[in-house]
């Protein structure tokens, strides 16, 4: 259930129809390169995207089984 906020954030950042101001800001900072089809490993490799995941899914990237999950 907690993955819904993370997906919602990504949808808002990548959809100009939902929020033109946010989409313009995201494009300016290169955050718009992520979509729902972006591989998970690419998200966690980017510190800003990883921060969003850590905020919405606390403990995900620090979990003992995280590396096994990524594989």
pLDDT per position as a tens digit, 11-66: 655 655 545 554 455 454 555 688 989 888 888 889 999 999 899 989 888 888 88
What is the residue range of 59's domain? 3-70
The number of folded domains in the chain is 1
pLDDT of residue 61: 86
pTM of the model: 0.49
Question: How many C-beta atoms lie closer than 10 Å to residue 47's C-beta?
Answer: 7
| Cα 52 from Cα 54, distance rounded (Å) | 5
């Amino acid at each position: 259930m907690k993955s819904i906020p993370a997906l919602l954030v990504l949808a808002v950042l990548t959809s100009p129809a939902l929020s033109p101001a946010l989409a313009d800001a995201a494009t300016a900072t290169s955050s718009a390169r992520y979509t729902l089809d972006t591989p998970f490993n690419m998200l966690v490799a980017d510190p800003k995207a990883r921060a969003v995941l850590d905020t919405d899914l606390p403990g995900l990237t620090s979990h003992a089984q995280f590396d096994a999950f990524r594989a």
